[in-house]
Amino acid sequence: MNAAELINFGSEKLKKQNILSYHIDSEILLSTALGKSRETILVNLNRKIDSEKIIKFKKLINRRACNEPIAYILSEKEFWSKKFVVNSSTLIPRPETEMMVEKLIEIYKRKNISILDIGTGSGCILISILCELKKSSGIGVDISKKALKIAKKNSKLHKINHSVKFIHRSFDDIFNNKFDLIVSNPPYIAERDMSRLDDDIKKHEPFIALNGGVDGLDVIKKVIYKAKDILKINGTLALEIGNGQYKKVSKILNNNNFRIKTKIKDYKDNIRSVISTFLK
């Protein structure tokens, strides 16, 4: 079989499984199997592929046909123009999170701050910020040892392991520290909505990093309550939240002496991140 035939084979199989991005996914997976760029493959569609590579490609297609996300199959995802190692122990970084990172970097550019990342996962938020804020340092905490292994790999990959620590600990157990910035992308999916998630997410991404309890606000509330104890006066709390949660989250923040400074909307004009200042 040649490259064109393999791409069509993969596309058809994925299409039958209702994978919406069936064609581009087939191209990406052939690129992975051959160890060549998509561009190289697309200008050499008539090139014959040896049987060993065909077997490898079909195995990758079978994984995608079971709704395994491309990022997990490739073991990487681009975020903030950098490649991050990911696996099924970590959430897959998403564009709306980049928007929060962009705003925080703008706020703290050229400043020396201490950062706490609650539920750090792959470490993509904290590492991206520290790559830009060269004078700053940070701590990432997570209750998943497997996620922290990935975060440590990413800190070494991006050469900032000197300015960051990753700790296996619940944020409830952090004492005697005061931070300039606390950032978190906590679980915020309501239990009733978990079953409605796409199969890519529901079947493969870590349940513990998605499930936000009955109303989706369980962990968000805990982060806000804890932040009062470990933020410096006029320190910043940056939270990613679920679509439609802004009114409830803003009320909780206001009731706990936080003043909202910035609301960040996603590409569909939904408020998806809130940056607030802690007032004594």
For 121-131, what is each residue's pLDDT tens digit?
999 999 999 99
**pLDDT for the residue numbered 67:** 97
Checking if the pLDDT of 204 tops 90, the result is yes
Q: What is the mean pLDDT of residues 58-68?
A: 98
- Per-residue confidence at 48, pLDDT binned at 50, 70, 90? very high
For 82-99, what is each residue's pLDDT tens digit?
999 999 999 999 999 999
- Per-residue confidence at 37, pLDDT binned at 50, 70, 90? very high
Q: What is the mean pLDDT of residues 26-40?
A: 96
For 219-261, what is each residue's pLDDT tens digit?
999 999 999 999 999 999 999 999 999 999 999 999 999 999 9
Checking if the pLDDT of 169 tops 90, the result is yes
For 117-165, what is each residue's pLDDT tens digit?
999 999 999 999 999 999 999 999 999 999 999 999 999 999 998 999 9
Q: Is the pTM of this model over 0.85?
A: yes
Percent of the chain scoring above 70 in pLDDT: 100
- Per-residue confidence at 177, pLDDT binned at 50, 70, 90? confident
Quote the tokens at residue 280: 């004594």
Quote the tokens at residue 93: 């970084």
The span from the CA of 268 to the CA of 272, in Å, is: 10
- Per-residue confidence at 262, pLDDT binned at 50, 70, 90? very high
Checking if the pLDDT of 280 tops 90, the result is no
Q: In this structure, are strands 231-240 and 179-184 parallel, antiparallel, or unpaired?
A: parallel
